[in-house]
Amino acid sequence: MSEPVLQTKGIEKSFFGVQVLKGIDFEVRRGEIMGLVGENGAGKSTLMKIITGLYTNDGGTILFEGNPVVFPDPSKARDVGISIIHQEFNLFSQLSVAENIFLDRKDYRNRYGIVDWKKMYGDAERILRELGADLDVRTLVRQLSVREQQLVEIAKAVSANAKVLIMDEPSAALPDNEVQKMFHVVRMLKDRGVAIVYISHRMKEIEEICDRVSVLRDGRNEGVVEMSKGKVDDVISMMIGREISDYYPHSRRSFGQVVLRVEGVSGQGLEETSLEIKSGEVVGLYGLAGSGTTDFAEIVMGLSRRSAGKVFYKEAEVKRDSIKAAMSAGIAYVPPDRRKEGIIVMMDITQNTVMANLRAYEKAGVLQNKKIYEKVEEHVENLQIKCAGQSQQVLRLSGGNQQKVVLAKWLDRNPGLLILNEPTRGVDVGAKSEIYRMIDKLANEGLGILMISSEVPEVLGVSDRVVVMCRGRVTGEYVNEGIGQDVLLKAASSNAGGEENE
């Protein structure tokens, strides 16, 4: 068995007097994919940020190739071969692919400080080709899809001859069908001898790709599991300290009147889409990247322009292109990109939670802080948001807990129809099952729920009915009784409408 390339011993870390890492031992070997799992807020990202020099630790040591190291900042870590791809990407969207890959490297300047573009583009092309990526190195990063941006991040790491590559929730931003492509690249790096740290909340992926898994719980080591078939249940129970009995609770219930009726709606990325949701019904909307599911939600919500069609909420027509109209009708929308659309990271939990419902807390034009405090406390309790207190900046919450704040914000409006777009992205298994339980409970209380997701198991787990979209059209609709994954996948990659069929 080879020696670990990277090892930590007894790492400790506190934020404002709250200890989040309580002596963590961690290691990863050459050519190994080491999973790192734990509930939201367990300290995974913090540990990785300490290793790469973004945070300083209060105690413990980091060993790289057997020698103790301390990196003053992440670029120094990258110089010796430890690269990290953060939960949130760090690319410059106005620069080209090649520029992003070689951003802070000096080898592309001649002695007059002038950039050797030819060499830079050539090298970038070579690296991307080796990763099996078909990208023009001159395109601007903002024109790339999420997966392509991730490839650029990987290329950046590889270009620095990474010996260790840390990937913090690399699949969270990817649609399901693109995860396999990423795995392909990851395995290739593994074969080259790179040690890989893989953080994820998707147990399926952990099972599939990891050789070993380290489990963190509340800032402590819970153990290391050698992965083989069936071990994933052990990992889950180590992670959350209990077994999840009923991962997808799904009560039998009868549906009520129609809450949402969408008739032939068109707009950017969407063509004549119709859909109906009854009260008490959970409809899963499944589609791959670019299928139009998000466009559908945004048009219904009045966030983007509707060029044709009608939307009815409980028989009353909803004015087009106005989020206010949709909101006051009773529609709520949890968007997929929480940091850009869901929350305001610089503001605190309290303000974020009541942000969409401020009028409800006004009395003679003045906000009632006590009422707000009590209500937010209730949400924090119900959704088990892990925080130092309501006045904590959302920026300082772990990724999964940020997502819960977005949910709280919309639940606070007591909507009649809840549209959830990738609601469990970056949420840990325990909290995921809480969210599924909540979806079930809300449906039992008579809400209509539209859950947009690119994860098939989730869609099949919680929905009463599944609608599949592809290229801006509905390509399949099924009552969720014994439909197979393959049926959904097929519908999601088919061409509806006929005329475009090859």
Partner 1 sequence: MRKFLADYIKKDGNRNVVLLIVYLVIQTAAFSILLPNFMTVSNFQNLMRQSAELGMVSIPLAIVLMTGNIDLSIGSVMGVCAISMARMLRAGLPIPAAVLFTVCIGALAGSLNGFCVAKLHLDGLVATIGTQVMLRGFCYILTGGRSVSGLPSEFTRVSKMYVLGVPISFLLMLAIFAVAIFVMQKTRIGIQVHAVGYNARASRFSGIEADKIKFRLFVMSGCVAAIASMFMLMRFASAESEFANGYDTDTLVAILLGGINIAGGSGNMLGAFLGLITVAILKNGLNHIGMTATYQQFIVGLLIVISAVRLPKKRD
Ligand X SMILES: Nc1ncnc2c1ncn2[C@@H]1O[C@H](COP(=O)(O)OP(=O)(O)OP(=O)(O)O)[C@@H](O)[C@H]1O
Instruction: Kindly tell me which of 80 and 355 has the beta carbon lying closer to partner 1.
Output: 355
Tell me how far, at minimum, the Cβ of 22 lies from partner 1, in Å: 17
Interface with ligand X includes 15 (CB under 6 A)? Answer: yes
Interface with partner 1 includes 324 (CB under 8 A)? Answer: yes
- The C-alpha R_g of the chain, in whole angstroms, comes to 24
Instruction: Specify the pairing of strand 366-367 against strand 33-37.
Output: unpaired
Q: CA-to-CA distance for 125 and 135, rounded, in angstroms?
A: 8
Tell me how far, at minimum, the Cβ of 423 lies from ligand X, in Å: 14
| Span near partner 1 by CB under 8 A; candidates 83-91, 102-110, 308-316, 354-362 | 354-362
Task: Return the residues of window 464-483 that contact partner 1 according to CB under 8 A.
Answer: none
Contact 310, 265 (CB under 8 A): yes
Tell me how far, at minimum, the Cβ of 172 lies from ligand X, in Å: 9
Interface with partner 1 includes 89 (CB under 8 A)? Answer: no
Q: CA-to-CA distance for 170 and 173, rounded, in angstroms?
A: 7
Length of the chain measured in residues: 502
| Span near ligand X by CB under 6 A; candidates 22-30, 253-261, 396-404, 410-418 | 396-404
Given ligand X, partner 1, Mg ion, none, residue 140, with its beta carbon under 5 to 8 Å by kind, binds: none
Residue type (1 letter), 411? L
Interface with ligand X includes 217 (CB under 6 A)? Answer: no
What is the dihedral sign for C-alpha 176, 178, 181, 186? negative
Binding mask 344-383 for ligand X (x = CB under 6 A): ----------------------------------------
Instruction: Kindly tell me which of 338 and 465 has the beta carbon lying closer to ligand X.
Output: 338
Given ligand X, partner 1, Mg ion, none, residue 386, with its beta carbon under 5 to 8 Å by kind, binds: ligand X
Interface with Mg ion includes 43 (CB under 5 A)? Answer: no
Instruction: Kindly tell me which of 12 and 65 has the beta carbon lying closer to partner 1.
Output: 12
Phi/psi of residue 413, nearest 5 degrees:
-85, 0
Instruction: Kindly tell me which of 19 and 139 has the beta carbon lying closer to partner 1.
Output: 19
| Secondary structure of residue 334 in the 3-state scheme | strand
Burial class (CB in 10 A: 0-12, 13-18, 19+), 312: middle
Among 63, 95, 355, 442, binds partner 1 (CB under 8 A): 355
Size of the site for partner 1 (CB under 8 A): 28
Q: CA-to-CA distance for 35 and 136, rounded, in angstroms?
A: 32
Interface with Mg ion includes 399 (CB under 5 A)? Answer: yes
Instruction: Specify the pairing of strand 448-453 against strand 417-421.
Output: parallel
Size of the site for ligand X (CB under 6 A): 18
Q: CA-to-CA distance for 89 and 152, rounded, in angstroms?
A: 10
Among 67, 366, 381, 499, binds partner 1 (CB under 8 A): 366
Instruction: Kindly tell me which of 84 and 420 has the beta carbon lying closer to Mg ion.
Output: 84
**Residue that has been written with the tokens 């949890």 in this structure:** 334
Tokens of residue 233, six digits: 């249940």
Instruction: Kindly tell me which of 15 and 92 has the beta carbon lying closer to ligand X.
Output: 15
| Span near partner 1 by CB under 8 A; candidates 195-203, 215-223, 264-272, 362-370 | 362-370
Query: Which residues 6+ apart lie within 8 Å of 261 measured at CB?
Result: 275, 276, 311, 312
Among 80, 244, 258, 303, binds partner 1 (CB under 8 A): 303
For residue 287, the number of C-alpha atoms closer than 13 Å in the C-beta half-sphere is: 27
Q: CA-to-CA distance for 424 and 418, rounded, in angstroms?
A: 14
Interface with ligand X includes 52 (CB under 6 A)? Answer: no
Contact 475, 491 (CB under 8 A): yes
Among 8, 29, 32, 38, binds ligand X (CB under 6 A): 38
DSSP assigned state of 340: I
List the alpha helices (DSSP H) in 138-287. 146-159, 176-191, 203-209, 232-240
For residue 469, list its beta bridge partners: 474
Interface with ligand X includes 57 (CB under 6 A)? Answer: no
| Span near Mg ion by CB under 5 A; candidates 41-49, 210-218, 427-435, 466-474 | 41-49
Given partner 1, ligand X, Mg ion, none, residue 400, with its beta carbon under 5 to 8 Å by kind, binds: ligand X
**Burial letters 170-194, b for 16+ CB under 10 A, else e:** bbbbbbbebbeebbebbeebbeeeb
Among 7, 8, 45, 159, binds ligand X (CB under 6 A): 45
Tell me how far, at minimum, the Cβ of 196 lies from ligand X, in Å: 17
Tell me how far, at minimum, the Cβ of 384 lies from ligand X, in Å: 12
Among 341, 378, 388, 493, binds partner 1 (CB under 8 A): 341
Instruction: Kindly tell me which of 20 and 188 has the beta carbon lying closer to partner 1.
Output: 20
For residue 139, list its beta bridge partners: none
For residue 195, the number of C-alpha atoms closer than 13 Å in the C-beta half-sphere is: 20
Tell me how far, at minimum, the Cβ of 343 lies from Mg ion, in Å: 15
Q: CA-to-CA distance for 55 and 21, rounded, in angstroms?
A: 12
Instruction: Specify the pairing of strand 195-199 against strand 33-37.
Output: parallel
Given ligand X, Mg ion, partner 1, none, residue 476, with its beta carbon under 5 to 8 Å by kind, binds: none
Q: Which residues bind partner 1 (CB under 8 A)?
A: 15, 55-56, 303, 323-324, 327, 333, 335, 340-347, 351, 354-356, 358-359, 362, 365-367, 409
Q: Which residues bind ligand X (CB under 6 A)?
A: 15, 20, 38, 40-46, 386, 396-401, 428
Q: Which residues bind Mg ion (CB under 5 A)?
A: 45, 399
